[in-house]
Amino acid sequence: MRILSLVCLLVISLGLMGCQSLRRDRDAELDFAQTTGEVAKETDSATTSDVATVSYEEEIFVGERTKPDPLSTEAIGNTLKSAMGKGPNQTAAKKLFDEADSVFETAVRARQAGEKETTFKKDFRRAGDLYLKAAERLPNSSIEQDALFQAGEAFFFADSYDKANDAYEKLIQKYSGSRLMDRAEARRFAIAQYWSELQELNPDHLWTYNFTNQERPARDTGGHARRVFNNIRLEDPTGKLADDATLALGNAYFRNKAYLDAADSYEDLRKAYPGSPHLFNATVLEIQSRLRAYRGPAYDGMGIEKANRLMEALVAQFPEQVEEQRTALDELAAEIRYELAARELYLAKLYDRRNENRAARLYYGKIVSKFSDTVLAKEASERLAELRDEPDLPPQKLKWLVDALPKPKDDQPLFNNDVPR
C-alpha cells in the first residue's frame, strides 16, 4: 500500500542513525582525532572528546552539580572507602586519570597501525575502567566530571555501548550543567538509535539474557533504547536533541507496534516543540499511529476522531508538504473517513435491528450527507429509502396492559399563585 510505504519511509528516514552509520560516524571521529594527535584533550572541535585541559589543583568542583544526600548509597560508599584507605585522594585520582589517558592514546595508535580489532578494543575498555577508578577517587570534582565523560568515550570506541551509556548517564545526572552535557547526550542518542535499529534487525526477548555481546544491554535492548530517548528529552527539555529524542521515542514505539504510546510521543512533540522541523512528519506519524491503534466501531472512537482532526489541521498548516505527498495522504484521509462512516453505520444498524427507525434514519442520513465519498454511502442511501415510510418507533409491546395501568397525575405546583399570601 502506498500509505504504508509513506509511513515506513518516514520512520526509516527519521531514524537518523542505523547500525552501520553509528560505526561509520564513530570511526570518522576517531580518524580525525588520530590525524590531529589530540585524542583525549581536544577542546575546540567536535571530535572524540570535549574535555578541557583543566587544572586539578582544587579538590572541590566549582560548578553546577547535584550534591549527594549524606544518607545516599554514594555517600555511605564514600565513607566506607575512606575507612578502607580508598577514599577521596587527589593525587591518586590524577595518577589514574593520566594512566587512562596513556592507555586511551595507545588504543588509538594501535587502531591507526591496523592492529587487530580485539587488541585496541581491549585497550579502550581498560582505559574506560581506569577513568572510572579515577572518578571514584575524587568525587564531586573536575576530575570526576572529565573522567566520567572520558570513560564513556573509551567504552564507546570499544563498542561497549551499555557501559558507555552508564558513564554518560552518571555524568549527566551528577553534573547537569556540565559543559560536556551536549556531547554526552549526543553519544547517548546515537547509542539508543543503534539499539533501536539492532532490536528491529535482530530482536532479543524479555526472557533471554545477553552474556557475550557488549554492543547491547544484558536484556531488553528495545526497552533500553526507549528509556534513553525518554531520559534525553526529560533531562534537557530545551536541549538540542529534545525534539529529536521525542520523535525517535515515537518511532521506537511505532516499530514495536505500540501505537498508542507512539501517538502520545508524537503528540508530545507537536505540543512541546511547535517550531520543530519534525512537526509535519510527527503529525503524519501520529495520524497513522492513531489509525492503527483504532480497534473498530464497537470500541472508543476518540482516536480515529482525533486522527481526522489532525488530517484537517495538516492540510491547513503544511500545504506545500501535503501537496508533495498528495496521493498517499489522500489515501490516508480516505481510510480515516471510511472508519468514521463505519461508526455511523454501526449505530444505524443497531437502531435498525431494534426497529427504532427514526434513529436509524438519522444515522443513515449522516452517512449519505457527510460521507458521500465512501463506499458505505450507497448502502446507507438504499436502506434510508426503505425506511422512509416506516413508523418512527416499534409497536408498543403489551399495549393493553400499559393502557390499563393508572396514569400518573400531573405534578402540582409547590405554590399556587392564585392564593393570596
DSSP state letters, 186-254: HHHHHHHHHHHHHHHHS---TT---SS-TTS-SS-HHHHHHHHHHHHHHH-TTSTTHHHHHHHHHHHHH
| Listed residue (186, 155, 181) closest to 170, CA to CA | 181
- Determine, yes or no, domain membership for 240: no
Q: What is the pLDDT of residue 213?
A: 84
- Whole-number Cα distances in Å, 245 to 128, 226, 235, 251, 399: 26, 9, 11, 10, 67
Cell of 63: 560548578
Q: What is the pLDDT of residue 104?
A: 97
Burial class from Cβ neighbours inside 10 Å (0-12, 13-18, 19+) for residue 382 reads exposed
- Determine, yes or no, domain membership for 134: yes
Q: What is the pLDDT of residue 406?
A: 74
Kindly report the pTM of this predicted structure.
Answer: 0.78
Cell of 336: 480515516
Helix axes 181-201, 161-174, angle to 10 degrees: 140
- Determine, yes or no, domain membership for 195: no
- State whether residue 2 is helix, strand or coil: helix
- Determine, yes or no, domain membership for 56: yes
| CB contact at 8 A, 100 and 127 | yes
| Domain final residue, candidates 134, 161, 179 | 179
Q: What is the pLDDT of residue 153?
A: 97
The C-alpha R_g of the chain, in whole angstroms, comes to 32
| Domain final residue, candidates 179, 198, 233 | 179
| CB contact at 8 A, 50 and 179 | yes
User: Domain containing 73: what range?
Assistant: 37-179
Q: Determine the Cα–Cα distance for residues 384 and 390; give it in Å rounded to an integer.
A: 10
- State whether residue 178 is helix, strand or coil: coil
- Cell 549524606 locates to 70
| Domain final residue, candidates 179, 198, 219 | 179
- Determine, yes or no, domain membership for 1: no
Residue type for 202, please?
N
The number of distinct structural domains making up the chain is 2
| Listed residue (176, 120, 156, 205) closest to 29, CA to CA | 156
- Determine, yes or no, domain membership for 403: no
Q: Which ranges of the chain have pLDDT less than 70?
A: 1-86, 206, 396-404, 408-421
Q: Determine the Cα–Cα distance for residues 296 and 70; give it in Å rounded to an integer.
A: 55
pLDDT in tens, 288-304: 999 999 999 999 999 99
- Determine, yes or no, domain membership for 313: no
Residues 6+ apart with CB under 8 A from 365: 380, 384
Q: Determine the Cα–Cα distance for residues 274 and 30; give it in Å rounded to an integer.
A: 36
- Determine, yes or no, domain membership for 410: no
Residues 6+ apart with CB under 8 A from 8: none
